[in-house]
């Protein structure tokens, strides 16, 4: 039995309404995915962990063949009664490779002394490509009379380091911070381990 024209039109309208409702529901679900994802990340902390990992991780050495020599030196203010020197004179690293080296500090005085290390990187074009992830220079250091300790530096050389830079020198100048007067000069220890007085 053939359906009437009105029945066909009514069926078509019903089908159109169902399809429209499905389309609206699909669009609404897709639109809601973004805030739902944000909520999920806030609850689980997964997005924060990813961002933190990206912020503190070296990029890796995949595809890197060149090596860069990193040299280490130490300077101390004349008013800082410390022995201060690198435990490693130099290392060869691939750009992107995370490396840990240590400096040694010992308070040679009979009083507790606080100091602050100020880093410098040479040559100048390497400064923005030398990334310190952990460093004793991030905070002041206090040593009791006769106390000694090893202080780590964790770093990597950025893979965007200019090709002509093959040697980088990381130098620390340690100044006393618990006295009001400014340091007049520094005791500089060269790569051979010989102390000399700086101007």
Q: How confident is the model at residue 23 (pLDDT cuts 50, 70, 90)?
A: low
Closest CA to 155 of 93, 103, 100: 100
pLDDT tens-digit profile of 88-126? 999 999 999 999 999 999 999 999 999 999 999 999 999
> Tell me, what's the pLDDT at 11?
74
- Give mean pLDDT, residues 151-155: 97
H-helix or E-strand spanning residue 112: none
- Distance separating alpha carbons of residues 5 and 105, to the nearest angstrom: 97
- Give mean pLDDT, residues 5-27: 66
Residues 6+ apart with CB under 8 A from 3: 11
pTM: 0.61
Residues 6+ apart with CB under 8 A from 102: 86, 87, 88, 150, 151, 152, 153
Higher-confidence residue of 64 and 139: namely 139
How would you classify the pairing of strands 68-77 and 167-176?
A: parallel
pLDDT tens-digit profile of 164-194? 999 999 999 999 999 754 444 444 444 444 4
Would you give the DSSP letter of residue 182? P
């Amino acid at each position: 039995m053939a359906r009437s024209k009105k029945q066909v039109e009514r069926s078509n309208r019903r089908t159109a309404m169902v399809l429209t409702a499905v389309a609206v529901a699909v669009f609404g679900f897709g639109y809601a995915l973004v805030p739902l994802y944000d909520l999920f990340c806030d609850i689980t902390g997964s997005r924060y962990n990813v961002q933190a990992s990206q912020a503190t991780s070296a990029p890796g050495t995949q595809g890197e063949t060149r090596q860069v020599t990193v040299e280490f030196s130490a300077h101390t203010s004349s008013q800082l009664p410390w022995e201060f020197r690198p435990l490693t004179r130099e290392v060869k690293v691939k750009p992107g490779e995370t490396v840990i080296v240590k400096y040694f500090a010992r308070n040679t005085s009979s009083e507790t002394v606080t100091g602050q290390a100020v880093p410098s990187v040479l040559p100048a074009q390497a400064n923005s490509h030398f990334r310190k992830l952990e460093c004793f220079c991030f905070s002041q250091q206090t040593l009791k009379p006769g106390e000694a300790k090893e202080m780590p530096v964790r770093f990597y050389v950025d893979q965007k380091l200019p090709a002509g830079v093959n040697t980088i020198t990381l130098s620390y100048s340690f100044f006393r911070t618990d006295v009001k007067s400014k340091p007049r000069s520094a005791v500089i220890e060269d790569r051979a381990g010989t102390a000399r007085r700086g101007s």
